[in-house]
Structure 1
């Protein structure tokens, strides 16, 4: 008996690598597909169905290792109707003995007609006794890992099903209202579907058993997120109640009026900041919608209330844009705005840190440098994180922790990458979401064209003409240095080419590997109008605001994602001149690249682009760093199961309205094992 313990321990460790630690984890490890082993056809019948997957049964009449052209095991089986070759290109010595002459075998695979007649290549097979019964249900195929065979998984799952508590965690009235199957019935059917089941509904996950699993998964996620929101509201935060002299003077000094959408969103944020629990709000707005001024007005409310605010951006260029714009608004009103980035000289960095720690700096703007251990704040009341999806959870928490152990600051996260409604409902259910859905007046529409790069000379002529009319041009490239693998035009080569082709124009170059001071000098020259053409990598993706720039050329546009293309296009169209975005592409285009370029030509609506981006990429890639280390939904599909998301959200709210509801605890224990791994921070 002692010999069995290491074996079990090894199996447990292999299962643990798949995240299968409890019996319920195993029970909810559902098949990814099924094989139909409920029927055996004759070898002759299978031959007539060539190209289809069939299961045959026969006795081994020949077994040999051949070398044509490489080492392979050839096993011939026969039944009353004929013979069939089973070909194994990779095999173990034990298989040669196992498939010896006279052995009865059941084999399943797609049957092909090769040079030596009918054959199956690498079939799944079983050695059986004559008259062995056929399975009565479809055979599940599970997601697996190294050293875990399907047989081991099936046995472990079957044994776990005999030990779990099957009591339903969704109340009967709710199951009836949503026409949901019972939990145990649904799970057993998915592990052991009968042979006569609707195979299409099973495969597309539209079967009622799959619907029940999707609903339960979504309900667990919604409950977890909403509970996180509730627990946050029980923590103290400074009530930033004052919108006094600074806020009033700031609004009065602005050279423009807020749009209706900006005013509405500002009202939502102000109401949140007045609460004694921490705001957790996501501010969404399309490129150029005016999120920065709203964030600055939120910071003014914190300062009016006697607290500090901090704004963190993912790149120095974006942080610098914020600093210049907000400091120009606030410093004439007597506000001390500090600037803190990694590239500052040690003396300047220490000075900025001292201003934050003493409270002299009422607003601190910077990059990741804000979360260094050496940076502390006197009274941090509001944290603003721009392009929040570019930061990991840990980085955002580190900034929030700067308020000290006894207080949680309010948090405003901003994103110019609009998040589709279903995605926001699912993955941001713990956040309040504000949307600026209106662009400032006077913005010019952007016309987008896709052009084969063979027409590069025409594009250069267009750049020259635009510059002679007094306009400025961005030319964006995806790489800095030559890559033989991708063969992309590089920023450095393009800069040299354009400088030669346009000798009467000032052509600048900016990329991520330049020294910050050199980068800033180029950006300043472009912003002032002294430079007509700016060749850049994607460092100008967000935050750059030059109203006179009206032409954007994106080199190798097929290499960029939709979100990035939309962000880059948003650098033009910020003034009154009509603006154009030219997408240079390399033929031939793949299917996904065609979809992206077509979308860019058809719409400038960030939310529509985000919806299509979600369709193309799926939620995992779309959400980026926010999901780092977090499990994605395994069963629900946000595109096709939107009605279930809404039902789960509504039911989660209803269940949580009952204090200490045991149903909530039981459901979360079943689906998240008490860990609540879906919690977002």
Structure 2
């Protein structure tokens, strides 16, 4: 039977469960309630207050369809203490039958107290008799979808919980004292007993929650260690040439900072080993990561191997390409250029040079990992702005590298510094090098925040800067991720600024332009023949124009904090005092206020990253949405650092002394997702 036919035989709830990833019994057991309803007690009608959510039992005294502003079913329910009105705006004949006069029913809903007394609108209704028992535990309400009724999901979860293999796989002494067995923890979280402290369940501080968080963190740490162990068994070329890097240093127009020298030494030590490097090079905007990557490439090339450098956008890839050509061409090295826009004979010629080994360094976008790209001797892969690539793309790169007998070394670069807790968690299998100082000559950027009604003053500031011979960026946001609206917005802004600033050369740069037109516009701006560049976020990374002294970011409240910091890094690249203006449209959300405040208060990328993590949480910060799964479902890195430290401390010992238990634990918690953690 085909997959389409198999899907068509499934019910809508079954398909909805699959979309939620509820495939195995353990998946159902770990699908935890988002809240609970208390059906363990009955409240007297007379004791109900406005805004209460309560359960009431009584006998139907009246049931009638009334036509008011709209057709509605009005029911009056009585118990020994008083009468409650039930109102249904959407109902079926079966609802009327269930609520026939004389029926005993149990209803639950939110109480409204008005002129006509107490009422509930659309409560849940259950037909009962005088002996129907109350629920023995709180009723779970699960994350679901429109095609997945709670009643169906509750039955499925209860069945999964009873069948799931929840016996302890961890040896005694591993789980922190005071935490319950896993089976007991899950039973309690799915069906909490009456009288339990709801606060501890809601804020996830209850020991049952702590057990789940610990198990998840331990599985994640074990998975990272397994990845590192697997990689240590692979063979890689030992790259030890020092002659070519020394020659490269002689053509560089600057000397390296102490921080750059330190990370170059760390990378050289890794490259000299006959096992693959897996290192993250992080440094703030403008800290000089490209030259560090160039020296690593020179080591690989001087040792007789090829190097590939992959960047997320054509503009960033082209910036790298130009710098590397300037540095490497005098050394007699050929640099190949490979992007999605390069097609036909040009592309075939490049592919031939790469396959023959004639191209020592290949620079490009994700086109570098396409199937028809074959390297003769790939010894080093460099991935810039690695968090901007989807997890699947990073895995494709790793699989491409696996096709040859020797695994290449992998250097990932990021200008979004990783806070310590994230480095400990998501990058536990990585070595991390940090460039923590800026090269001399970089000037601090002053950041100013203005409401949109100050736009005229900002245009005046642009006029002043241009009169001084300076250049200016004006950045327009993406609107609802729509390229069409994004283009309209940028085009309209370009027209307005061209009109407001006669005699000023105003350029336009956006994602829909052909690569050649983008390159021509950037060349004009870089050469100083264009004073003002209106752009979308295509200029976020890689653009280097030292004469640009003013950056205006329109609708700054729509940008993420890391993106704002990246954009700000396009100015302050020369000796001129630079300003970044953040224009916002009121009203601002709490998140928007926090972002703009952070930008105004600090230019330190590490502090920006820490605040970004606080604002967004780890899943969004890491771009885990690109994988289709948040990599931590239960643990909270801001609150659970003690559990994380415990898991980090125990993981190596468990993997060394009880490898079977470690494997079983990872399989239970991560299943196939362990691959995503290795990307």
Report the TM range for the smaller structure's normalisation: over 0.9
Residue matched to 1:592: 591
Q: Does the aligned pair in 1 maintain the 2:321–2:337 contact within 8 Å?
A: yes
What TM-score do the two structures reach when normalised by structure 2?
0.93
Q: 1:38 aligns with which of 19, 37, 40?
A: 40
SS at match of 2:473: strand
Give the stretch that moved more between structures: 508-517 or 16-25: 16-25
Structure 2 distance, partners of 1:540, 1:8, is 47
Distance 2:668 2:479 in 1: 50
Partner SS state of residue 101, structure 2: coil
Cα distance in 1 between the residues matched to 2:393 and 2:532: 36
Look up the SS of the partner of 2:474 in the other structure.
Answer: strand
Deviations along 1:485-532, whole A, 9 cap, x unmatched? 989982222222222332233222222222222221221121122222
How far apart, in 2, do the equivalents of 1:598 and 1:418 lie?
19
Tell me, yes or no, if the aligned pair for 1:14 and 1:147 is still in contact at 8 Å.
yes
In structure 1, the partner of 2:618 is: 619
Cα drift, residue 667 of structure 1: 1.5
- Kindly indicate whether residue 115 of structure 2 is the aligned counterpart of residue 153 of structure 1: no
C-alpha displacement at 1:69, in angstroms?
Answer: 2.3
Write out per-residue CA displacement over residues 601-621 of structure 1, whole angstroms, 9 at most, x where no aligned residue. Answer: 111122222222223323333
Q: Displacement, 1:253?
A: 2.8
Q: How far apart, CA to CA, are the structure 1 residues paired with 2:67 and 2:153?
A: 35
Residue aligning to 2:385: 387
Q: State yes or no: 1:277 paired with 2:275.
A: yes
SS in 2 for 1:657: helix
Alignment size in residue pairs: 671
- Identify which range, 567-576 or 28-37, moves more after superposition: 28-37
- 1:117 equivalent to 2:117? Answer yes
Does the 8 A contact of 1:286 with 1:418 survive in 2?
A: yes
Equivalent residues of 2:54, 2:111 under 8 A apart: yes
Aligned partners of 1:99 and 1:618: how far apart in 2? 47
Query: Which segment drifts farther, 398-407 or 503-512?
Result: 398-407
Counterparts of 2:159 and 2:373, CA distance in 1:
54
- Residues 271 and 25 (structure 1), Cα distance of their counterparts in 2 relative to 1, 3 Å cut: same
User: The residue matched to 2:665 in structure 1 has which SS?
Assistant: helix
Aligned counterpart, 1:228: 227
2:486 touches 2:536 (CA, 8 Å); kept in 1? no
Partner of 1:338: 336
Q: CA–CA distance in 2 between the matches of 1:150 and 1:671? A: 24
* Change in 2 beyond 3 A, CA 1:227/1:97: same
> SS in structure 1 opposite 2:636?
coil
SS in 1 for 2:216: helix
Judge conservation of contact 1:481–1:492 (CA < 8 Å) in 2.
no
Q: Identify unmatched segments of 5+ residues in structure 2.
A: 1-7
Aligned partner of 1:529 in structure 2 is 528
Displacement, 1:438? 1.5
Match in the other structure for 1:257: 255
For 2:5, the equivalent position in structure 1 comes to none
SS at match of 2:140: strand
**For 1:175-194, what aligned pairs fall within 5 Å after superposition?**
175-176=175-176, 178-194=177-193
Give the stretch that moved more between structures: 53-62 or 186-195.
186-195
Deviation per CA, 1:535-594, whole angstroms, max 9, x where unpaired? 111111000011111111111212222121111100001111111001112223232222
Q: Does 1:672 align with 2:670?
A: yes
Please name the residue that 1:286 is paired with: 284
Is the alpha carbon distance of 1:402 and 1:356 closer, same or farther for their aligned partners in structure 2, counting shifts above 3 Å?
farther
Q: Which residue of 1 aligns with 2:28?
A: 26
User: Does the CA-based 8 Å contact 1:383-1:400 persist in structure 2?
Assistant: no
Which moves more between the two structures, 561-570 or 621-630? 621-630
Deviates more, 1:495-504 or 1:397-406: 397-406
**1:236 Cα deviation from its structure 2 partner:** 2.2
Equivalent in the alignment of 2:88: 88
Partners of 1:26 and 1:637 in 2: CA distance: 21
1:114-172, Cα deviation, whole Å (9 max, x unpaired): 45431111222322111433234322222234554433333344444444444323333
Structure 1 residue 348 displacement after superposition: 2.2
Further displaced range: 389-398 or 564-573: 389-398
**What residue number does 2:100 align with?**
100
Unaligned ranges ≥5, structure 1: 1-5
- TM-score, length-normalised on structure 1? 0.92
In the alignment, is the contact (CA less than 8 A) between 1:480 and 1:491 conserved in 2?
Answer: no
Matched, 1:244 2:242: yes
Cα distance change of structure 1 residues 119 and 549 upon mapping to structure 2, 3 Å threshold: same
Q: Distance in 1 between matches of 2:238 and 2:610?
A: 36
**Corresponding residue for 1:516?**
515
Note if contact 1:34-1:140 (Cα within 8 Å) is conserved in structure 2: yes
Residues 427 and 64 of structure 1, relative CA distance in 2, 3 Å threshold: farther
